[in-house]
Structure 1
Amino acid sequence: MKFSILISSYNKVNYIEKCIQSCLEQTYKNFEIILIDNHSNDGTDTILKKYEKNIIIKKVFKSSDYSSVNQIDLLKKAFQISKGEVACLLDADDYFENNKLEKLKTIFSKKKEIEVVFDKPKILINSNINYFKIKNKYSKYIWPTTHPTSSISIKRSFFKTILEKQLFDNYPLLEIDFRITSLSKIIYKNFFVTEEIITVYRKVSDGIMSQIKKFSNKWWIKRLDAHYFICDIFKKYKIPYKKNYDFYITKAIVYLLNKQNN
């Protein structure tokens, strides 16, 4: 089984070397590393030059003003270059434990029907360590707890299906991890959550998730987009969908915010 580690990168000079090294030091050796960078201007190039012979590095200009769209664009481009049976997604400020691929190989080999493996990462905030928790959701019509991008390993066939169905399109505030988690857990039910702690997710101030503060205007707009996305995928797959009170509250708040701003 060959793995493709797909790294999305933009201005992560303080973290990217640890990210790359964690991939190169994997105990399982049948893998490739593809890093796509949005023309970082923070000194990242100096580090990338050291690894030109070890990994595939490509540079592309940003395609959007939305960070989530740029991230999806980078990972799509990396996927198009890749050859592996399984793609391991990785943000440039996160890193893998050195046995991650070995653990994944065992899981995918034993559970052949599974197309996505989610892990529950160690969360690093400065030097403090926390652990990822999955929340119990009150409704089947709302999205499940989203696993961070770097904790998602997805079979090539499923990634291709999502691309072909254009499920990475529209809703520019919604990140790739939200989309894959929702599709896999709600619609396809083709996932496995491992208890192995094989990823380290850094919670940094300039990360995609950190850019939208909870209960800010953009946070509410993004939440409404998430509701619409879930509604759309239920409709696309012809599954009955019932809008819950969270949907209507969110919609009302966004309406009031828009009215206030106008």
Structure 2
Amino acid sequence: MTNYVINSKPVVSIIIPMYNVEKYIDKCICSVLNQTYQNFEVICVDDGCSDNTLSYLRDYKDHRINIIRQQNRGLSGARNTGIRNARGVYIALLDADDYWAVDKLEKHIAHLNRNPQVDVSYCPSLFVDDDNKQLGIGQFPKLNNIDAKTIFCRNPVGNGSAPVIRASALEKVAFHDDTRSWRQYFDENLRQSEDIEMWLRLALYTQATFAGIPEPLTYYRVNASGLSANLQKQYQSWETAVNKHRRSHAQFFRQCGSLARAYQLRYLSRRAVQSRNTSAALKLIHQALFTDIRILFEEPGRTALTWCCALTSLLPKSLYDRAEKLAMRTVGQSNKHPAG
């Protein structure tokens, strides 16, 4: 581990929202404290935990860990509290059930320092299960030449534990609304799809620059209950989030709206496949193709893969798992786009 002189003002503020994550918090915090880059503060926001999360967290005696307690306001509300209290030049988001590779911060800070025009630095993510076992699949996004259409259609950031963001970029899109007195960054009216809404807001209103680094440095936890959650509700939440900006960017939505919906439906089809919901998977991929056939021409490999995986999910689980991992590795490495 590289030794750094810790200044009174940290370079990076790591924001960790927490809600009943006693099972995961040790893995998460250890992945932060073991970083090769050490000039950071950790802001852990207790969003109304009712389990032993705080007891586990208080076992860590590192002075850089700050705990803020609040009544439950959801993921966006916890992140916003953390961001408002952050002192760093960069904001690194980490959900409490995920964790990082030891050199994640070092590589992102180097990336941002080398490229002052970049506002959001992100990386590929590897999927793990409840026991931290890698599933052999992940998100391998496009890394460069990211525009608002790419954000809308493909969400290259991928998940909320992947990005490291310039604090100044977040300040440009901060807002107040009529129902809350505090400054918001992530929209607290959204309980799902808050990430894509934020990235789209940054891209559309500030022309923020997004760029990725090739190494997979984030471990994103996937569990059966999350995969099998109401897919229609997830789709509706996505529509609600992105439609916030339809009126102010009508031409953009006319050009990209149906294509973005098709990609979102294809992503949800993949979620259905992973939870072995074959009927939903087939329905969603067909709906995606009928919504905008361009997904078949823009990404023929991944679109065909999703349809084939929906069919092969009828196989015994052991055979299906082996086929999916092989296919995802092959197509993921050749296309370099997020799984979905």
* Normalised-by-shorter TM-score class: 0.7 to 0.9
Q: Which stretch has the larger CA shift, 103-112 or 239-248?
A: 239-248
Residue in 2 aligned with 1:234?
249
Work out whether 1:80 is the aligned partner of 2:84.
yes
Equivalent residue for 1:221, pick from 236, 242, 247: 236
CA distance in 2, matches of 1:247, 1:131: 20
| Structure 2 residue 153 is the aligned partner of structure 1 residue 149 | no
Q: Quote the offset at 1:102 in angstroms.
A: 0.7
RMSD value, Cα = 3.0
Partner SS, residue 91 of structure 1: coil
Partner in structure 2 of residue 12 of structure 1: 21
Q: How many angstroms does 1:205 deviate by?
A: 4.4
Aligned-partner Cα distance in 2 for 1:145–1:101: 24
Aligned to 1:169: 187
Q: Quick one: structure 1 residues 82 and 153, their matched pair in 2 at CA, closer, same or farther if it must change by over 3 Å?
A: same
Deviation string for 1:73-92 (max 9, x for gaps)?
A: 11111111111000000100
Find the structure with the greater CA-based Rg. Answer: 2
Per-residue Cα deviation, 1:64-118 (whole angstroms, up to 9, x for no partner): xxxxxx1111111111111100000010000111101110111011100111112
Query: Any conservation in 2 of the 1:144–1:181 contact (CA below 8 Å)?
Result: no
Q: Secondary structure at the match of 1:102?
A: helix
Question: Which residue identity does 2:230 align to in structure 1?
Answer: K
Q: Which residue of 1 aligns with 2:5?
A: none
Q: How does 1:24-35 map to 2 (within 5 A)?
A: 24-35=33-44
Q: CA 1:153–1:213 in structure 2 vs 1: closer, same or farther (change >3 Å)?
A: same
Residue 114 in structure 1 maps to residue 131 in structure 2: no
Match of 1:132 among 133, 139, 159: 139
Structure with bigger RCO (C-alpha 8 Å, 6+ apart): 1
Give the 3 Å change call, closer, same or farther, for CA 201–8 of structure 1 in structure 2: same
Residue 32 (structure 2) pairs with residue 23 (structure 1): yes
- Rate the CA distance shift 1:111–1:45 in 2: closer, same or farther, 3 A: same
Q: Secondary structure at the match of 2:37?
A: coil
- Gap change, CA 1:5 and 1:30, over 3 Å in 2: same
2:209 matches 1:190: yes
In structure 1, how many angstroms separate the alpha carbons of the residues matched to 2:261 and 2:27? Answer: 44
What letter matches 2:213 in structure 1?
A: T
Partner AA of 2:71 in structure 1: F
CA distance 1:205–1:185, shift in 2 (3 Å): farther
Contact residue 36 and residue 75 of structure 1 kept, 8 A:
yes
Identity %: 24
| Counterpart Cα distance in 1 of 2:116 and 2:36 | 22
Structure 1 segments unaligned to the other structure (5+ residues): 64-69, 251-262
Please tell me the residue identity of whatever aligns with 1:100: K
Say whether the 8 Å CA contact 1:152–1:177 is kept in structure 2: no
- Tell me, yes or no, if the aligned pair for 2:76 and 2:190 is still in contact at 8 Å: no
- CA distance in 1 between counterparts of 2:260 and 2:54 reads 44
5+ residue gaps in structure 2?
1-9, 143-147, 177-183, 265-340
Report the CA distance shift for 1:98/1:110 in structure 2 as closer, same or farther (over 3 A).
same
| Distance in structure 2 (CA, Å) of the matches to 1:220 and 1:199 | 25
Displacement, 1:178? 1.2
Residue pair 1:144, 1:182 contacting (<8 A) in 2 also: no
Moved more, 48-57 or 94-103: 48-57
On the 8 A contact 1:227/1:247 being kept in 2, the answer is no
> Structure 1's 117 and 170: CA in aligned 2 closer, same or farther, altered over 3 A?
same
Per the alignment, residue 107 of structure 2 pairs with 103
Q: Which of 90, 93, 117 is equivalent to 1:89? A: 93
- Aligned counterpart in structure 1 of residue 59 of structure 2, from 25, 31, 50: 50
Aligned counterparts of 1:178 and 1:119: Cα–Cα separation in 2: 16
Structure having the larger proportion of residues in helix = 2
CA distance in 1, matches of 2:260, 2:118: 31
CA–CA separation in structure 2 for the residues paired with 1:141 and 1:28: 30
Count of residue correspondences: 235
